[in-house]
Amino acid sequence: MAKQKLKRSILTDVREALQNVPPPEESEDISRRIAIEEMYEDIASLLDDGHTFGTIAQVLEKNGIDINDQTLSQYFRDITKARKKAENRAKLEARKKGHPGRTVDSNGAIKATPSVQQISAEIIDDDDEIQ
């Protein structure tokens, strides 16, 4: 393919065309795992209420999701583990980046840092006591 020379003047039109490309159509088909992930909170709530994976799997089967209790349990554990890992990663990133107005103590807990106004007010109060 020969090298094509382009006029810089066309870039504006090309960029505009790129910004107006419609999003790709989403497939109506999803995997069982994605379905379970999207229903995670509903399933967790049922488990909290005392239902078993077997009971939940039966309800899913009756409503068009072919899954057994072992597979449901495995998906649920995997999703739980991935969510906790993502949460821990987010906490770590927050600690690394720091928070404006916050510090991290030696235990990793985020604590508020007093504002300049609070520090100034304390200094003024201390000066009043000295006199």
Mean pLDDT of 33-49: 96
- Domain definitions of the chain by residue range: 31-97
Q: Which amino acid is at 56?
A: I
Nearest to 33 by CA among 71, 61, 83: 71
* pTM of the complete model beyond 0.85: no
Phi first, then psi: give them for residue 40, nearest 5 degrees: -50, -50
Rg (CA), the chain: 28
CA geometry: angle 56, 59, 61, nearest 5 deg: 110
Mean pLDDT of 7-22: 91
Cα distance between residue 74 and residue 88, in whole Å:
21
pLDDT tens, residue by residue, 76-108: 999 999 999 999 988 888 887 765 445 555 555
Cα distance between residue 101 and residue 110, in whole Å:
10
